[in-house]
Amino acid sequence: MFYRSTQNRRKHWYHVLSIEKKLLWIPVMLCIFLLTACIAVLLVYTVRAREYDMKQVAQNLPGSILYDRASRVVTPLSARDNAPVTWSELPQHLIQAFIAREDDHFFDHHGVVYTALLRSAFHNLLSMSYKQGASTITMQLTRHVYELQGKTIDRKLLEIVLAQRIENEYDKQTILCQYLSRIYFGQNCYGLREAAHFYFGKKISELTLAESALLAGIVRAPSLYNPVRSPESAIKARHETLARMRELDMISSEQLAQAEAVTVTNKPAGTQGSTAANKNYPAMWANAELDSLNLTQNERSRGLTVLSSLHLPLQQYTERALAAAIQAVETSSAPLPEEWKSLPHAEPNELQPKLFASTKRPAALRRGPRSSLAVGELRLQTTVLIVDSRLNSRGNVLAIACGRDATDSVNRWDAVIQPGRVAAPLIFCCACLPGENSHHIVSHSARVTGSRLGYNLVHNFIDSLNLGTLPDKEHESDLYDGLFPVRMVDLARALFSIQNMGLDYRLRLINTIWSQGHHLIYAEENKKAKEYIRREGAVAVSHLPPFRYREGTPIVLHEELPDNRGQWTMVSNDRGVAVFVWMGVENSSGTCKTPPELRRLVAQASLALARQLHARARAELRAETSVNRK
């Protein structure tokens, strides 16, 4: 019998897995490739991170600057203290609050928590979004110091390497202090020192546990959680921080209960503390717009270059004219502004110089820039808003004054008034709505017109303008008489719309925003304005009473507000400029009620001031246009 010889074969380990030798090289090579790629990526981002100067982490903090339409400096937007927070200023419970809220492993990691990054990446893949970032405090500081744009993998990898570089260069105390010095707390508060002063009128070292937890809760959404804008949301954020501190055994159950029982008082901005940026009306308006733009906390924490529609010479002229007008009303011996005497008044009795000299002022009327009034004292207040109404520029704010003196940090354009007859054009616009009813006729009286149209039609129309809470059916005559609350700026916007074919022009000041590294953050889009008030109605009503119009002169709306709450004046011309002026007398509680002896002076002064500013604004814009053409 013959046997075929067979070769003895050596057993290999991969035979146990039933893997062919050739197939084994696929995962091996794949692992080598991935390892090489990771090393290459690490080297690339390490080299890129070397280009960033680590000294910037400890440098003085940059502030934001507001510029006018010709790139002239108007004012700083942030009055931040350039000196960073020091470790000795920080109470232990404040440190714990921010650690619990933002990064509970801060003192243990080296800038990055990789398990958190992997968990975040997994959740983001499942949701196909970028909802979780897993950023440590060091990584957040990295974004505040360096301008790392966008939510991309490239930015995240660079941020990780830079965070580790910062950890190598600085100790944990310095990193936390720099972080607390840079973050934005809402209400134009940059850094912990400014936030503690503004919200609580305290030094950092004096903050309680409840106050520290509230400030730690704000930073997630400063425009939503700050106690001035939304006390309920601030309390909720504070409770979340305290609960997390208790979960980490940073505080006891007794401390938790005591801190949660502390109430948050919703005082007006500036009563606890104030900043220099809040004491300037253009800055006050611009910062309010910045809050409404919902910029990221990272963008707000760095110094910004804000280019606006303001006309600096006109702004300065407005402030001088306003001071002169106030002086003329307050003091019988003060000379009337020379510009008033040369104005082309539509009626002979619009300005009576003898009235200003002969009227006896109330003894309670106080003069000067004092920020507070004693009980029983009165003070004259004036607001001014000058808006560009030229084609392609409509709605741009050219100059702004929110009162007589910005040191009280109050924007009176946000004040609520009852418009009275000033709201009559809105009622008349209802009569111009489509319909075959014979009652759609504009009468001289807003009450008669409204009664003919009916409560439902008038209510639904004015409610669509989002002006505020309107009277119910039982008080429908108040609706027609304008006895309902409206913010002054919203009323100005509605009247501006009527004089501009019913289009919805937002009264805006900011045009573009640039970062310190000259990256464009925001640009106002030149969208076609939507219809706010029906065009046919706005055009028909724009020249009817209470608007006063004569051929060759601007349109004027000049009415006293109900219950002697001041004088409202609007002077406007087509494709030119619109000027809004409110003038009234405030008492120590902030309530406006003009004394009888001052009503005629206030009426004449507000109209003269509005006409003066309108003439000056038109002259400035014409001069600017002629220079640009050259």
Q: What domains does the chain contain, in order, with CATH numbers? A: 80-274 (1.10.3810.10)
**CB atoms near residue 613 (< 10 Å):** 28
Q: Is the model more confident about 207 or about 84?
A: 207
Helix/strand/coil for 626 = helix
- pLDDT tier at 99, thresholds 50, 70, 90: very high
79 close to 106: Cβ distance less than 8 angstroms: no
Hey, what amino acid is at 410?
V
CA pair distance 91, 68, nearest whole angstrom: 42
Q: What is the pLDDT of residues 589-608, one digit of tens each?
A: 888 888 998 999 999 999 99
CA pair distance 155, 149, nearest whole angstrom: 7
Does residue 290 carry a pLDDT above 60? yes
CA pair distance 481, 463, nearest whole angstrom: 15
pTM of the model: 0.80
Does residue 386 carry a pLDDT above 90? yes
Closest CA to 544 of 607, 601, 590, 498: 498
Closest CA to 103 of 67, 135, 58, 145: 135
Does residue 317 carry a pLDDT above 60? yes
Q: What end-to-end distance do the CA atoms of the chain give, in Å? A: 116
Segment 594-597 long-range contacts (CB within 8 Å, at least 24 positions apart): 594/564, 594/565, 594/566, 594/567, 595/362, 595/365, 595/378, 596/564, 597/359, 597/360, 597/361, 597/362
For residue 376, is it left (φ>0), alpha (ψ between -120 and 50) or beta?
left
Does residue 12 carry a pLDDT above 60? no
Dihedral sign (CA 192, 197, 200, 203) = positive
Q: What is the pLDDT of residues 247-266, one digit of tens each?
A: 999 999 999 999 999 887 65
% of the chain residues with pLDDT over 90: 37
Query: Which range (118-127, 442-451, 589-598, 615-624) has the least confidence?
Result: 118-127
Q: How far is CA 179 from CA 46, 58, 140, 203, in A?
A: 23, 10, 8, 18
Does residue 488 carry a pLDDT above 90? yes
CA pair distance 560, 558, nearest whole angstrom: 7
Res 369: pLDDT: 65
Closest CA to 318 of 388, 406, 401, 405: 401
What helix, strand, coil percent values describe the chain, rounded to 5?
A: 50, 10, 40
Q: Which residues pair with 306 in a beta bridge?
A: 66, 513
Sheet holding 73-76, edge to edge: 73-76, 65-67, 304-308, 510-515, 520-523
Average pLDDT over residues 80-107: 87
Q: What is the pLDDT of residues 164-190, one digit of tens each?
A: 889 989 999 999 999 998 888 887 788
CA pair distance 415, 378, nearest whole angstrom: 18
Res 133: pLDDT: 53
Does residue 396 carry a pLDDT above 90? yes
- pLDDT tier at 205, thresholds 50, 70, 90: very high
Hey, what amino acid is at 554?
P
Torsion of Cα atoms, 65 then 382 then 566 then 364, to 10°:
130
Q: Is the model more confident about 295 or about 569?
A: 569
Hey, what amino acid is at 331?
T
CA pair distance 462, 460, nearest whole angstrom: 6
Res 272: pLDDT: 43
Q: What is the pLDDT of residues 528-583, one digit of tens each?
A: 788 888 888 888 888 889 998 888 789 999 999 999 999 999 999 988 899 999 99
Closest CA to 399 of 100, 616, 586: 616
Res 394: pLDDT: 87
Does residue 79 carry a pLDDT above 70? no
- pLDDT tier at 15, thresholds 50, 70, 90: low
% of the chain residues with pLDDT over 70: 86
For residue 502, is it left (φ>0), alpha (ψ between -120 and 50) or beta?
left
Place of tokens 């040369």: 342
CA pair distance 290, 398, nearest whole angstrom: 17
Instruction: Provide the mean pLDDT of the chain.
Output: 84
Res 81: pLDDT: 54
